[in-house]
Amino acid sequence: MITLLLKPFIFFVLLLDANSVGTKALVSSSICISENKKFYNAKSDSIIDFAKKYLGIRYVYGGSSPKGFDCSGFVYYVFKKNNIKLPRSSRYYAKLDNSIDIKNFSKGDIILFSGTNNNLNRVGHVGIIISNNNENLEFIHSSSAKRRGIVITNFNKSRAYKKRFIGIRRVISNE
């Protein structure tokens, strides 16, 4: 008889506990929505920290693993490991919708360049921006120049990359 009386009480306690968890989840999602900029920065920082682990890895044409990367293979790999699916080939980055003016770049954005042939005005090289727009624009990428591999380049100090600049795409939402 006592067990029959306790069952509704236990159910009521579990129901209260489930409701409080639901409330916490609701509060958590409200905080996440109202502080989405912090989430964006945290996600960008996570991606950049992950990318920097591969500094010095050699350039390999067609490479998309830590054994060696080409430019788009590196960007693809870093974002894939952070659950963001991007094109494998650099030429498809121009088709991404979220074009950002160079004055509004943020860390985590993808920077697009023509390939080494300046006569072809199509994307042939990509990198990940690692600085905010109040800083010098720096990006991490896999450079084929002299088989350098994964390096950080200061856009403002590089005439070659300034000449080849095509655009910036935002792939991490900050809204």
Q: What are the residue numbers of the active site? A: 71, 125, 141
Q: Which three-class secondary structure state does DSSP give residue 110?
A: strand
Phi, psi values for residue 106, rounded to 5° = -140, 160
CB atoms within 10 A of CB 16: 10
Strand stretches in the chain, DSSP E: 64-65, 68-69, 99-100, 110-114, 123-129, 138-143, 149-154, 165-169
Burial degree of 78 (CB within 10 A; 0-12, 13-18, 19+) = buried
Give the helix/strand (H/E) hosting 5. Answer: helix 2-34
User: What sign for the dihedral angle of Cα 159, 161, 167, 168?
Assistant: negative
